[in-house]
Amino acid sequence: MKKISVFDVALTGMMVAVIEVCKVAMMELANIELTSFWLLIFSKHFGKKVYFVVPVFILIEGAIFGLGDWWFMYLYAWPLLVLVAKLFRKSDEPLTWAIISGIFGLSFGFLCAFTKIFFMGSAAAAFSWWIAGIPWDLVHGAANFILMLVMYKPMEKAVAQIKKKGF
């Protein structure tokens, strides 16, 4: 594996900062977030460098907000999104990315329910928890879909310009 350069560390820091700032700025909007959007865009364009972004982001989230059950959900939910992005990285169609982001938003509660089995003590309790959150999963899925559809093209142009400058 290639050695990690100072440039890689700086780039990782910038990507995490972008995700974190957007997350905090949008905290008042229930289940509307840009973390999915950024992780998909970064995974598409910055290759293996994004492998460092996810753990750093998760650690910072834990340091800021404490280690609740949600933190354990992050350990597999976000890496899974990056993995899916890798599978589709050659696609350049906004609708493809919007569908991926939308389905991830819809599935977020279901994915998180696996952690709830351990924290709530039973699969039945975790199932009830997932059911109660379905309206919010629908909001999450719709918001992810729309945000990606609207922002994909402008962001592609911006990333292309950044890459021209050697990033």
Q: Which residues bind another protein (CB under 8 A)?
A: 28-30, 66, 68, 93, 95-96, 99, 102-103, 106-107, 120, 125, 127-129, 131-138, 141
H-run or E-run covering 130 = helix 123-132
Query: Helices 94-120 and 134-164 meet at what angle, rounded to 10?
Result: 130
For the CB of residue 152, give the shortest distance to another protein in the complex, in Å. 14
- The CB-of-41 to another protein minimum distance in angstroms stands at 19
- How many other CB atoms sit within 10 Å of the CB of residue 34? 20
As measured in angstroms, the least distance from the Cβ of 43 to another protein is: 18
**Tokens of residue 71, six digits:** 């933190």
Q: How far apart are CA 108 and CA 142, in angstroms?
A: 12
As a whole number of angstroms, the distance between CA 133 and CA 157 comes to 36
Cα-only R_g, the chain: 16
**Tokens matching residue 66:** 């404490």
| Residues 126 and 66 sit within 8 Å (Cβ to Cβ) | no
| CB of 103 vs another protein, minimal distance in Å | 6
Among residues 96, 21, 16, the alpha carbon closest in space to that of 51 is found at 16
CB of 113 to another protein, least distance (A): 11
Between 11 and 148, whose beta carbon lies closer to another protein?
Answer: 148
